[in-house]
Amino acid sequence: MQFIISDYINAAMAAAHFDKLDDGSFAGRIPSCAGVIAFGSSLRECERELHSTLEDWLLLGFRLSHSLPAIEGIALSFAA
């Protein structure tokens, strides 16, 4: 059984970039998903926040009928 949204989220998270900030906290972003950025006091917390932000971004994109970028050949589309 294949779950396309889970595959999309996993591919997006695999493409995430994380940086350690000067204060010791972390920032994460997914370059192909405009505006998907998160912060956390640890790398693990930042990863969780980024995952949650990505899910919210996808739901909002579906709700507003935005075009979503293909990631690793996975394209999400919906009937308008």
Global pTM value = 0.90
Q: What are phi and psi of 10, to 5 degrees?
A: -60, -40
State mean pLDDT over 76-80: 65
Give per-residue pLDDT as tens, 29-69: 999 999 999 999 999 999 999 999 999 999 999 999 888 99
Indicate the domain borders of the chain.
Answer: 4-63
Under CATH, which number does the domain 4-63 receive?
A: 3.30.160.250
pLDDT > 90 in the chain, percent = 78
For residue 77, what pLDDT is reported?
73
What pLDDT score does 79 carry? 54
pLDDT digits (tens, 9 = 90+) for 12-23: 999 999 999 999
Residues 49/40, Cβ–Cβ less than 8 Å: yes
